[in-house]
Amino acid sequence: MKIDSEMLRERLGSQDLLDWIDEDKSPWLYKQGYLSGLMKAIVVLGEVEYYTEHGKDREPIDFEFSVEIIKGLTAVTGAVADKMKELELQSHSERDIIEQCISLMESVHKDMMDYMELMDVEHTEGIPMIRFSYFEIVQRLLLSRTRHGGGTSTRKKCDQLGFDYSGEVIIGEEEADNE
């Protein structure tokens, strides 16, 4: 079987292979894998063309770098890594996520109480309160469906984030205090 390398190179170099990436809803890992495979195919094609032309594999490249070149490459690599970090979407820390989740639960509870008041629903036993331990919140938000969803890992994660895993968050306590 003979490979038509010109036709293959033309297909691999076609912009159509890349145009779908921006609009596609596939995860970035899939896209990175696709691009990685595409680059590997181009490298293999280059090796096949070299072998066809010269009848042997390429000699390995022996890189001997001076100290100045190594410093330059390190600087360039660092700059590229910094630029990649800039392009990543930033998110809150895990601790901030927990605190914002608690705030969201309090807001939902308050809205529910306001709605019940608007609808003239009476609270026969006072304002209902919801209790969550930090253990439960951390486990459900950060560790569910992971290999680290057990008790020991959850306690360690709570310690890592600065939460007392046996401590409680009581949603609705402030409304009850106001009455």
Higher pLDDT, 9 or 34: 34
What are the tens digits of pLDDT across the range 125-159?
777 889 999 999 999 999 988 888 888 999 999 99
Return the HEC string of 21-72.
HHHCCCCHHHHHHHHHHHHHHHHHHHHHHHHHHHCCCCCCCCCCCCHHHHHH
Residue 1 pLDDT more than 60?
A: no
pLDDT at 179: 59
Residue 89 pLDDT more than 80?
A: no
Say if pTM beats, i.e. exceeds, 0.85.
Answer: no
* Domain locations in the chain as residue ranges: 5-87, 94-178
Find the mean pLDDT for residues 13-30. 71
